[in-house]
Amino acid sequence: MNQAILFNDDATYCSDKQCITFTAMQQGMRIECQIAKAFNSSADAIAHFEQWRFDYEEQSEELIEAEAFSAQGIITLKAYK
């Protein structure tokens, strides 16, 4: 794990956008990460995120290091299962 990238404990689910969002910090910069996936409830979304948290953080690290930001400065992740 890259110690220069820290992940906050702030995962939320936006039912309007159908995505889970969480943030990372790199050199004092807050980076928004999104996982596009529909869920029946916020509780289901957060349970899914917690189940795959390590994998999502690892995927985020790779994309942040590759500077794979969207035009809005967001990292978009591939959803697991």
Instruction: Work out the end-to-end distance of the chain between its first and last CA atoms, rounded to an integer number of angstroms.
Output: 23
CATH of the domain at 46: 3.30.160.140
Q: pLDDT band at residue 22, thresholds of 50, 70 and 90?
A: very high
The DSSP bridge pattern shows strands 5-7 and 19-26 to be: antiparallel
For 42, left (φ over 0), alpha (ψ -120 to 50), or beta? Answer: alpha
pLDDT digits (tens, 9 = 90+) for 24-77: 999 999 999 999 999 999 999 999 999 999 999 999 999 999 999 999 999 999
The answer as to whether 81 is a domain residue is: no
The answer as to whether 80 is a domain residue is: no
Entry pTM: 0.91
Of 19, 8, 16, 5, nearest to 53 by C-alpha is 8
The H or E element that residue 61 is part of is: helix 42-65
Domain span at residue 36 reads 5-75
* Counted domains in the chain: 1
Question: For position 81, what pLDDT does the model report?
Answer: 85
Question: For position 3, what pLDDT does the model report?
Answer: 66
